[in-house]
Amino acid sequence: MALPVLVADPDRKWLGDAKIHLKESGYEVDAVDNGRDAQLALFRKRYFAIILNFDLKNHTGMQVLKFIKFNHPGLKVVLVLNSEEYLQEYFDYEDLQKLGAQEVLVRPFENHKLVDSLEGQQNFSQLIKNLKKRTGQSEESEEDVDEDEFTKVRIKEFFSAKHVIFDVYIKLREGKYLKILHAGDSFSKERIDKYINEKSIEFLYFKEHDRKKYIRFCNHLARKILGNKKADTKMKVAMVKNVAEKFVEEVFVEGIKPSILDQGKEICETVFKLVEGEKDLFKLLKEFQEFDPSAYSHAFLVSLFSAMIIRQFEWQSKLTTETVSLACLFHDIGKMKLPQEINEKRPEDMNAAELEQYQMHPEFGIELLHANRSIPPSVKQIIYQHHECTDGTGFPKGVKDNKIFTLSKIVHVADEFSHIMVVNDCAPPAALKIMLENEANIARYNGVVLEHFMKVFVDPKILQEIEEKKKKIC
C-alpha cells in the first residue's frame, strides 16, 4: 500500500516533476501550490507526510506549520527552504524542529533527496510497506559509478529482510559496479553465499543516500535479535556493531541533523539492550578480535566498552548508559575539522604543530555540537574531556582528576583501550596487559574506573559471589 504524501510548493513546474518522481518511488501523491489548499487537503485526507515549501503564498509556510502543529501533530513535515540564507540569518535546525519540521531540504537539491527525506521518517514496517516488491530477482546490470557515491558493508555482515530495501552492488573494478539486487527483489541468502564462496566477494556496496535506510533496517533487526534468547551473542554484537558503524559514518558524511540525532538515540537504546541483556558478553569481549582502524568502528568499540564499564557501577542506569553511548558515537566528531593527513597519523607520529592541531579535536567536537540544544550538556562535557587524564597530562585543558567528569573518565579508558587493541593488533587480555604495564601509564587513569573496567572481563556470577562474601565479613 502506497503512503500518501502531500507536496505544497508555489513552483508549478517543480511540483509536477516532484509528483512524478515520488509516484515512481511508490508514493501516493497530491500536489498543491498554495497554503490555503494545503490546509484544505490536510483537513480532507490523512497523509503520512507533507513536503512543504516555506515560501508558500495565500497562507504562508509558517501559517501552515502552525496549523499542522495544532491540528495534525503526528504528520511528518519535510520543510523546503529556497535558499541557505534562512538557516544563516533566521533559523537553525533546532528552531525549525520546534516549529514541527522533522527534515529540512535547502534548494538546490536533487530529486532523490525528497525520497531520502521521506524514508528517513519511516519506521521499518512503513519502509517495507511502501516497497514495490517482486518475486525473484531482476537482471544483473553493470553501471559506471564514482566510488564516492557508495558505502560498503562486509558481505558476511550484510543482513536483509525478505525483500531488499535498496539496490545492492558488487565492485567489478575501479568505477565499474554490478547491480546484483534491485530494491524490492526477494532476498536470497544462497545467492549471497555464492558470491562469498565462488567469487570471493568481500564487500557489498550500496548508494550513500540509502545508508539511512540501512541503519534503520539494521537497528530494527538488531532489536529483534536481541530479544531472542536463543540467538548467538556474537551475532548480536555483530548486528549492533554494524548499525553503530554505519550511523557514525552517516554523521561524519552528512553532519548532525535532527533526524540523525533521533536515530542515534535509538541506536544507544540498542547498545543498552545489548549490554543489559547479554549476560555472557564478558566471554565474548575477552576474545574480541576487532582490529578495524576506521573511525566508525572505533566509535562503536568505545561505546561498547564504556557501556560495559558503566554496568559495573552501582549507580548505573539506562539513561546514563545511553547518554554515554551517544557521547561515544560522537566523541571524535571534532576530527572532521582536522586535515586528512593528521587524521591518518597516530599522535606519536605527529610533529609538534600537528599534535597541537590534533589536540584541538575535543574542542572542535563541542563547536560542531554547540548549536544543537537537543544534545544533552553531559554528552558535550564527555566529548570535551575524553582525553583528560587523572594526573593532569591530558588535553585540551590538562585538568586533574577532581575536575574531570566521571563519565569522561570512563570514556577515556575505553577510548585508549580500543586504540591499544587496534595499534597492537591484539585481543583484550593482551591489550589490558599493555595498558597496565607501567606505573606512569596507570597514573593517567582513574583508579576506580580502571578497577571496574577490569571487571568487564570477569564472569558477573563470580563478582556477585565476591560481593556477597564481602558483605558477610563486614
- Applying CB under 5 A, which residues contact Fe ion? 332, 415
> Between 295 and 442, whose beta carbon lies closer to Fe ion?
295
Task: Report residue 61 CA to chain centroid gap.
Answer: 31
Q: Which is nearer to Fe ion, 145 or 295 (CB)?
A: 295
Q: What DSSP state is assigned to residue 378?
A: H
In order of 103, 236, 307, the CA distances from 279 in angstroms are 39, 12, 13
Closest residue by Cα to residue 216 from 155, 253, 183, 259: 259
Longest dimension (CA), the chain: 81
Residue 168 makes CB contacts below 8 A (sequence gap 6+) with 158, 179, 180, 181, 204, 205, 206
> In terms of CB distance, is 100 or 428 closer to Fe ion?
428
Distance CA(391)–CA(368), nearest Å, equals 28
- Cβ 148 to Fe ion shortest distance, Å: 25
Range list of β-strands (E), 287-341: none
Query: Based on CB atoms, which residue is closest to Fe ion, 303 or 446?
Result: 303
Nearer to Fe ion, 58 or 343 (CB): 343
Q: Closest distance between Fe ion and the C-beta of residue 219, in Å?
A: 23
Nearer to Fe ion, 168 or 307 (CB): 307
Nearer to Fe ion, 216 or 386 (CB): 386
Cβ of residue 317: shortest distance to Fe ion, in angstroms? Answer: 24
Backbone angles phi, psi at 30, to 5 degrees: -115, 145
Q: In what side-by-side order are the strands of the sheet with 49-53?
A: 28-32, 4-8, 49-53, 76-81, 103-106
Minimum CB separation of residue 419 from Fe ion in Å reads 7
Q: Which is nearer to Fe ion, 64 or 422 (CB)?
A: 422
Check residue 163 and report its DSSP letter. B
The one-letter amino acid code at 108 reads: P
Query: C-beta of 452: minimal distance to Fe ion in Å?
Result: 20
To Fe ion, the closest distance from the beta carbon of 332 in angstroms equals 4
Task: Name which of 223 and 387 has its Cβ closer to Fe ion.
Answer: 387
User: Which is it for the CA torsion 91, 92, 96, 98, positive or negative?
Assistant: negative
- What is the DSSP annotation of 102-157? SEEEESS--THHHHHHHHTT--HHHHHHTS---SS-PPPEEEE--GGGEEEEEGGG
In whole angstroms, the minimum distance from the beta carbon of 366 to Fe ion comes to: 12
Question: With contact defined as beta carbons under 8 Å apart, do 49 and 118 qualify?
Answer: yes
DSSP letter at 209 equals G
Q: Comparing C-alpha atoms, which of 125, 100, 423 is closest to residue 291?
A: 423
CB 260 to Fe ion: min, Å: 19
